[in-house]
Amino acid sequence: MSDILRRGRLSKSPDEEMRNYTSSMAADKWIFEADVYVDLAHTLMLAKQGIILKSDCQKILAGLLQIREEGMEKLDFSYEDIHISLESRLIDLIGAEAGGRMHSGRSRNDEVATCIRFALRGELLSLLDDLTALQHVLVALARQHLTTVMPGFTHLQHAQPTTFAHHMMAHADALERDIERVISAYARVNLCPLGAAAFASTGFNLDREMTAKSLGFSKPMTNSMDAVSSRDFLIECAAAFSNIMINLSRMAEELIIWSGQEFNFVELDDTYASTSSIMPQKKNPDTAELMRGKSGTVIGALSALLVTTKGLPLSYNRDLQEATPNIIRSSSVTAASVRMMAGMLSTLTVHTDVMEKQAPAGFTSATELADTMVREAKIPFRTAHQIVGTLSRGTSIEPTLEEIDAVSMDVIGEKLSARGLTQKAVKDALDPMENVKRRAVLGGPAPEQMKKSISEKEKRIQAL
């Protein structure tokens, strides 16, 4: 038996099904690069500490660099994981006398935890780039559409006029919190378990600060038992990814609805559409639909991580191997979705004319009309609410002062015109753009207010 792991304690080789069942080789492609770096850092530290000879160190380093050059394909996939397969390849290349010394003072338990953190760290950084690019797209759209009036919705019913800029900035604000969550998670991912060995650390005089530093981690993890058994950093990242996907899924949902005939607010670029195999006229928003669907995959990965780790006693348990593919999948789906959303939005055709035409539909200025009654005729808001509510039972979305007076006579026994409400005030209140302009409090859609929000956000994105 040439298996460098099983030739001691175990006397039988596993059959193929058992090998496939227990192997992590497929998922370990994700940590191949990381594993080489971890091996390099550990080996250099062993030599510096006098645990291995400089000459052996040189051979190991040369072997590792060759393995990195050859790529993962050269490794023996019948091994149960990348760590042992890579070590076996090293021994093949440089011999057991030097190669067999690399794993001194180390276990696959601290090794794998370090590799996962190393690989995930890189993915978080590139995800932050993708999220920032998406922020730029949203902000650019907002700048372009400061005065594009559209109906805003609650319960998916026309509610009050807003602008497309306000809508886009709402998504940008949600994504900014996602960015903050990823940055915050990064700090807890970027800790180094190496040197914890199996769980009890080691009697070799390792320099854990050195390996942590050379691998770019902020510091070594302290308790060696915690270092190998904790996967809370995966849960935290998967939760951040899930939040991102929920936000993207909601944006995707809007793109789907808005590109339908009934709304016709937007049209997706052909790149992001598909057609039907039978209905020649169809242009379907498949990319957005898949994004909505893939959010299920990412949320599923989070729940898999929670359930996989919840009952594990300290320290390392092999169950942890099942956690890794979930973070790989959720990370790559999330990053791709962020890039797709940036692509869909930056190429989107916005039908400003349709949005503007629809802005008053459904009596969206009813709230402003009631507010105007409060300001001009000095009646309580609840009374104004009743008067306008009664007026909206009719079909007209533009009640005249006479119609308003007729209802107010019924409700309060007085005409609002007699209390100072003018035809001009009514007309202004019914203008959607005027509605928007008046909503100038912090966070409101008024173009002046939006401009401020946009430039503040631009500054924050630059500072990232």
Spatial distance between the Cα atoms of 430 and 352, rounded to a whole number of angstroms = 19
| Identity of residue 288 | A
Of the candidates 437, 369, 433, 432, which has an alpha carbon nearest to the alpha carbon of residue 403? Answer: 369
- Binders of ligand ARG among residues 74 to 93 (CB under 6 A) are 81
Region of 108-116, 175-183, 335-343, 380-388 interacting with ligand ARG (CB under 6 A): 108-116
Spatial distance between the Cα atoms of 162 and 151, rounded to a whole number of angstroms = 6
Among 43, 85, 109, 330, binds ligand ARG (CB under 6 A): 109
Report yes or no: 5 and 80 within 8 Å, Cβ to Cβ: yes
CB of 77 vs ligand ARG, minimal distance in Å: 13
Report yes or no: 415 and 405 within 8 Å, Cβ to Cβ: yes
CB of 323 vs ligand ARG, minimal distance in Å: 8
* Token pair of 217 as six digits: 């981690």
Alpha carbon distances (Å) from 89 to 37, 66, 72, 85: 16, 10, 10, 6
- 155 has catalytic annotation: yes
| Site for ligand ARG contains 137 (CB under 6 A) | no
Apex 30 CA angle, 29 and 35, nearest 5: 85
| Site for ligand ARG contains 229 (CB under 6 A) | no
Among 250, 318, 357, 427, binds ligand ARG (CB under 6 A): 318
Region of 1-9, 104-112, 162-170, 416-424 interacting with ligand ARG (CB under 6 A): 104-112
| Site for ligand ARG contains 10 (CB under 6 A) | no
CB of 96 vs ligand ARG, minimal distance in Å: 21
Q: Give the DSSP H or E segment for 162.
A: strand 157-163
Among 59, 103, 108, 231, binds ligand ARG (CB under 6 A): 108
Which of these is catalytic: 276, 303, 396, 455? 276
Among 320, 327, 384, 446, binds ligand ARG (CB under 6 A): 320
| Site for ligand ARG contains 110 (CB under 6 A) | no
| Identity of residue 374 | V
| Site for ligand ARG contains 38 (CB under 6 A) | no
CB of 118 vs ligand ARG, minimal distance in Å: 14
Cβ-Cβ contacts under 8 Å for 202 (sequence gap 6 or more):
105, 106, 195
Among 4, 24, 249, 334, binds ligand ARG (CB under 6 A): 24
Alpha carbon distances (Å) from 247 to 242, 296, 337, 338: 9, 12, 11, 10
Among 88, 211, 229, 324, binds ligand ARG (CB under 6 A): 324
Residue spans of alpha helices (H) in 49-195? 54-70, 82-94, 96-99, 108-144, 164-189
CB of 29 vs ligand ARG, minimal distance in Å: 12
Among 41, 57, 112, 266, binds ligand ARG (CB under 6 A): 112
Return the active site residues: 155, 276
| Interface residues toward ligand ARG, by CB under 6 A | 24, 81, 108-109, 112, 316, 318, 320-321, 324
